[in-house]
Structure 1
Amino acid sequence: MNLVFEALSHPVRRQIIQRLKRGPQSAGELAGMFDLTKPTMSTHFAKLKKADLVSTKRDKNTIIYSLNMSILERALAELIDFGGDKNDE
């Protein structure tokens, strides 16, 4: 789960996740949101994929990214569990 939290720690990657909540997007569509170089965007995509937050599908020369909601839900559950029960104090 550390990879997930590391991936979510960067604002650009969080914005990519927000955009993917609307549905699958091509790498080009997502990259068009930012004034960043292709290598920088590739690094962000790779970190999201390594954390299993996104999945990819190739359509000819285009890479389509989709959000893996189950990983986000698990991360949220872990954060909630980490907070503990206020009655434990």
Structure 2
Amino acid sequence: MESVFQALSSTVRRKILAYLSKTSLTAGEIADRFEISKPALSKHLNVLMNAGLIESDKQGQYVHYRLVKNNLFASMNDFLVNFCPEGRPLKMESAEIEAGKKSNN
């Protein structure tokens, strides 16, 4: 449980969870939304994965990250993002990305 709270203590990691709330994204797609180095982003993703909040799936040459939906803390974060003034726009953007992916298929 300590790893979950450590993961949620970072604003960047909470934003990553908000982006992953409605769709999966590659590390590159996540990196495009932040002004941090790729090694720093990789560290944030590893912290989230070690806490069991996100999982990865290799699809071709890309690794896609997504929220672990059956994780209680991830589900609570997904719910709370709706009430967070900073998180709500990120969740809406996530939904728009997912809608764009579906229309391209």
Runs of 4+ in 1 over 3 A off after TM superposition: 72-76
Q: Percent identity?
A: 34
Q: 1:74 to 1:19 in 2, by over 3 A?
A: closer
For residues 74 and 36 of structure 1, the distance between their equivalents in structure 2, rounded to whole angstroms, comes to 23
Aligned residues: 76
Aligned pairs for 1:5-44 (under 5 A) are 5-44=5-44
What is the TM-score normalised by the length of structure 2? 0.67
Aligned Cα RMSD in Å?
1.7
Deviation (angstroms), 1:70: 2.5
Deviation (angstroms), 1:3: 0.6
Q: Which amino acid aligns with 1:61?
A: Q
For residues 57 and 31 of structure 1, the distance between their equivalents in structure 2, rounded to whole angstroms, comes to 17
For residues 9 and 61 of structure 1, the distance between their equivalents in structure 2, rounded to whole angstroms, comes to 31
Deviation (angstroms), 1:72: 3.6
What SS is found at the alignment partner of 1:58? strand
Which is higher, the Rg of structure 1 or of structure 2?
1
- Are 2:56 and 1:56 equivalent residues in the alignment? yes
CA contact (8 A) 2:69 2:75 kept: no
For residues 23 and 38 of structure 1, the distance between their equivalents in structure 2, rounded to whole angstroms, comes to 21
